[in-house]
Amino acid sequence: MEGDTTARADLGAAGRGAGRGEPLLRVEGLAKHFPVMAGFPVRRRVGAVRAVDGVDLTVHAGEVFGLVGESGCGKSTTGRMIARLTEPTAGTITYRGLDITRLGRRRLRPVRSEIQMVFQDPYSSLNPRQTVGTIVGGPMEVNGIDPPGGRGRRVRELLETVGLSPDHVNRFPHEFSGGQRQRIGIARALALNPRLIVADEPVSALDVSVQAQVVNLLREVQRDLGVAFVFIAHDLAVVRHFSQRVAVMYLGRIVEVGDRDSVYSRPRHPYTHALLSAVPEPVARDGAGPGPDGEGGGGSVRERIRLAGDVPSPADPPSGCRFRTRCWKARERCAAETPPLVRLEGDAEGHLTACHFPEEPTTAARGGDVVLDPAPTTEPHPGTSP
Amino acid sequence: MSSPTEAAASVPSPLPPAPSPPPPPGPVTGRSPGRLMRRRFRRDRTGVVSACVVVLFFAVGLLAPVISWLYGKDPYTLYGQEQPGLLDPFGFPAGPLGGVSGEHWFGLEPGLGRDVFMQLVYGIRTSLLIALAVTVATTLTAIAVGVTAGYLGGRTDYWLGRLMDFLLGFPSQLFFVAFMPVVVALFVDPREETPTWIRVTALVLVLWFLGWTGLGRLLRGQVLALREREFVEAAKVSGASPWRIVRKELLPNLVTPVLVQFTYMLPGVVTAQAGLSYLGVGLVEPTPDWGRMFATAGEVYENDPAYLFFPGTAMVVFVVCFNLLGDSLRDAFDPRTGR
């Protein structure tokens, strides 16, 4: 087992892709099935919502691992299982070589202080009856940590780290804005000097203007303190800004995972293509058709994909590939065989895709838009004309 | 556009610019939550007045023997029968307002001729004592059961919930009337004389048995809602024990409902216990009792309405003040109240 100092020095030096040896966190076959109970007078189990159904991922020390996907795809549940807030149905979670999947509260304690969590809702994640000092100092009290100079001093330091005035210790959460509250939540997560922070949509409840500040704060924390992150979000731009590696989830499974640039600029899974095409572009279109470099990638005009219908119910997911009900490339094989998460030919190392019929590794506009939505497209677009 | 400083500078001033006041020495430290609470409470005039009245009632109850000694009377002596002239031939107090005089401040009891002031003081003593015991026991039980059910959930919650439903289904007044003799008989042979303390215990037990369910349910619901809040999960992530979560995260958030319910329940128990005494299953003669004074007053109100006046007014003042105090305390405990 590597020592504290070496681990931290490691990441400081190497930056992206640091410490590719022993991963900090390894998750294998993680699943969570929520039982569905019904019946009268005796309620019995009639089915299960497969919120997470076989997720494998690894997080290295000091790395930011982004987890994206639409609502209900199981990304939050995955994060909660990593933080051991939700009991997994199956699978293993290994933290620094130690299987923590089934550890009880007492035996989990040393690990607990190293895996912390930042929550989504800054209004519900702080106890309204406690002062900021109590909230931030609480984790130290629980774990009996007495930092040099006392807990009070450490709390003040932490508040300064997250950009709040140390004089705020005796204030109550309701006196702060959403962004400030999220900073308090981050200070609380940092109180135990964690090595891994699970951030469950930490900015999605905030104003857009404040989001950037909080993400930048998380980035500073990650850089200066070498904390690894599992960063859960549905905002692809935020994930791109903050993460080194990204996993795309769909209906309880990871469909594509890889280094950020690889996933964002050379996506292979149709769902990743669809997600990326849905990100609004800050650049105004100049009305040009698909350029000569349209196929090669890097063109200013991107592909347009519109998906039809809703995500199928996780209580009754489709057989084989889960995306096949909304995929424009789906064939019989997709229903019969579940595609494995593998490295496809021509992809970078560590870029894995679960698809039988992957797309070309580009996000540039294709010959015609993929429009599965039965709703008519109102505005004709230059890209549509063949 | 000129800024205020420029404008000020352009005007020639005969005086040198006043030095700005020095910043307050030392770092700015906030006040502690307890001090903030007391500050908020002191600003609430209704609350302070109600608190004074409530404290006065409890002081009267506690210091009843001292008052008796100062006043020179006791609640048992039959003054009206010992001293001729205080009661008229029909047994009603002679003189205005039920015999109010410098000697007997609140008049005399019709028939027996006991001192009403002393009866009331000692009546308040027994009533408040019983009500306090019942309310404290009830609240503690409700907190224990409600928090257990809400926090543990599942099967525990189901069975505790059914128990609360079952007890809530009882007609409470009938139950009190029917079970008082039964509970008393558990302690004493019916042929012997029942000591007062056993009656008091029985009364407390009976009122407690059915009293805690309402608050228990309320707290269960509150805990159920709080348990899902993310600050509880944050405490779990930091490795806090369930006991610590209950103590530090849940209970402080339950102070408001508990306090409000406590302050509604205590006067309620006082009146319920008065009702039982009125029905004849509470405390019996010669123990002075607030509730039984109403029973007596009900018998004689046509000829001596003044007898109802003093205990009645005292009861109304007490109940109103206690409820107002509850409201003020709730506001003071809530850091979000902007006072």
- The pair phi, psi for residue B122, each rounded to 5°, is -70, -30
Q: Give the CB-side neighbour count of residue A68, counting CA atoms within 13 A.
A: 29
Let me know: does A176 contact A182? Beta carbons within 8 Å: no
| Number of cross-chain residue pairs from A and B with Cβ atoms under 8 Å apart | 85
Below-50 pLDDT ranges, chain B: 1-28, 339
* Predicted local confidence at residue B220, as pLDDT: 93
Q: Which residue has the tokens 């002596």?
A: B77
A66 min Cα distance to partner chain B (Å):
20
- Please report the DSSP string for B233-272 in residue order: HHHHHTT--HHHIIIIIIHHHHHHHHHHHHHHHHHHHHHH
Q: Answer whether residue A127 shows pLDDT above 70.
A: yes
d(CA B105, CA B118): 9
pLDDT, average across residues A369-381: 57
Average pLDDT over all residues of chain A? 81
Count of other CB atoms within 10 angstroms of residue A164: 21
Query: Of the ranges A12-16, A179-183, A273-277, which is most confident?
Result: A179-183
Tens digits of residue pLDDT in A146-194:
888 888 899 999 999 999 999 888 888 888 998 999 999 999 999 998 9
- The pair phi, psi for residue A52, each rounded to 5°, is -130, 130
Test the A interface: residue of B230, B254, B339 with most A CBs within 10 Å: B230
The encoded tokens of residue A254 equal 């990871």
Q: What is the DSSP letter of A302?
A: B
Q: Answer whether residue A290 shows pLDDT above 60.
A: no
* Predicted local confidence at residue A188, as pLDDT: 92
d(CA B280, CA B295): 9
What structural domains does chain B harbor?
54-70+119-333 (1.10.3720.10), 78-114 (no CATH)
pLDDT, average across residues A3-20: 40
Of B29, B238, B249, nearest to A170 by CB-CB distance is B29
d(CA B221, CA A27): 36
* A188–B31 CB contact, under 8 Å: no
* Predicted local confidence at residue A257, as pLDDT: 92
Tens digits of residue pLDDT in A299-309:
457 777 888 77
* Predicted local confidence at residue B31, as pLDDT: 57
- The pair phi, psi for residue A200, each rounded to 5°, is -90, 95
* Predicted local confidence at residue A284, as pLDDT: 53
d(CA A330, CA A344): 18
Measured between beta carbons, the chain B residues lying within 8 angstroms of A172 are 33, 335-336
Q: Answer whether residue A367 shows pLDDT above 80.
A: no
Q: Answer whether residue A256 shows pLDDT above 60.
A: yes
The encoded tokens of residue B152 equal 């543990």
* B33–A127 CB contact, under 8 Å: no
Of the candidates A231, A230, A164, the one whose C-alpha atom is nearest the C-alpha of residue A203 is A231
DSSP strand pairing (A352-353 vs A370-371)? unpaired
d(CA B10, CA B17): 13
* A128–B335 CB contact, under 8 Å: yes
| CA B48 remoteness from chain centre | 15
Of the candidates A363, A371, A358, A366, the one whose C-alpha atom is nearest the C-alpha of residue A383 is A366
What structural domains does chain A harbor?
1-36+47-114+194-210+220-250 (3.40.50.300), 264-281+290-348+359-386 (no CATH)
Tens digits of residue pLDDT in B228-280:
889 999 998 888 888 999 998 999 888 888 888 888 888 888 888 888 887 87
Q: Which residue has the tokens 């007062």?
A: B196
A175 min Cα distance to partner chain B (Å):
8
The DSSP bridge partners found for residue A116 are: A197
- The pair phi, psi for residue B322, each rounded to 5°, is -65, -40
* Predicted local confidence at residue B78, as pLDDT: 77
Q: Answer whether residue A71 shows pLDDT above 70.
A: yes
* ipTM of this complex prediction, to 2 decimal places: 0.79
* Predicted local confidence at residue B24, as pLDDT: 44
* Predicted local confidence at residue A373, as pLDDT: 61
**Chain B residues interacting with chain A (CB cutoff of 8 angstroms):** 27-33, 229-231, 233-241, 244, 248-249, 252-253, 255, 335-336
Count of other CB atoms within 10 angstroms of residue A123: 15
Confidence of residue A7 (pLDDT cuts 50, 70, 90): very low
- Please report the DSSP string for B130-181 in residue order: HHHHHHHHHHHHHHHHHHHHHHH-HHHHHHHHHHHHHHHTS-HHHHHHHHHH
Confidence of residue A20 (pLDDT cuts 50, 70, 90): low
* A142–B239 CB contact, under 8 Å: yes
Confidence of residue A248 (pLDDT cuts 50, 70, 90): very high
Give B29-42 as a 3 state SS string: CCCCHHHHHHHHHH
Angle at B97 between CA B93 and CA B99, to 5 degrees: 35
Q: Which residue has the tokens 């006392």?
A: A150
* Predicted local confidence at residue A8, as pLDDT: 39
Q: Give the CB-side neighbour count of residue A295, counting CA atoms within 13 A.
A: 2
